[in-house]
Amino acid sequence: MKNVELKKGYTQVCVWPGTIVGESKKTKFEEFMQINFSIRVQYLEEIKTLPDMENGNPVEGTGERNDVFFAIHSEDVHNFVIPRLRSGIMWIEDAIDNYRKLYPSRVSEYDK
């Protein structure tokens, strides 16, 4: 699977851990973000986290958390710096730095 291509002007990718939207409701998600945070977003995808590993084996009961990936329009990033924290939303670079092993390696391409 490949990463979703960002639309022109959408430069900052974010991760909202433990959130479920569903492909059929991506437009409603984008509208929700516009109404509640006054930002334009592009829904990208949802990824189930990988399990924790111990001695090369998956740790039972870990992984499978649903995380939503979306991009913010570059003109709106400054409006979202503080509000995102209240919802537990991370910049992609923070998610990769702190939770790299939870996502497929291709996710690091969003941080470019």
Q: What are the extents of the domains in the chain?
A: 10-110
36-55 confidence digits (pLDDT tens)? 999 999 999 999 988 877 88
Whether pLDDT at 56 is above 90: no
d(CA 89, CA 14): 7
Average per-residue pLDDT for the chain: 92
d(CA 36, CA 56): 42
Torsion region of 56: left, alpha or beta (phi above 0 gives left; psi -120 to 50 gives alpha): left
- At 98 the pLDDT is 81
- Indicate yes or no: pTM above 0.85: yes
**Residues near 71 by Cβ (< 8 Å), separated by ≥ 6?**
6, 7, 10, 11, 12, 13, 14, 41, 42, 44
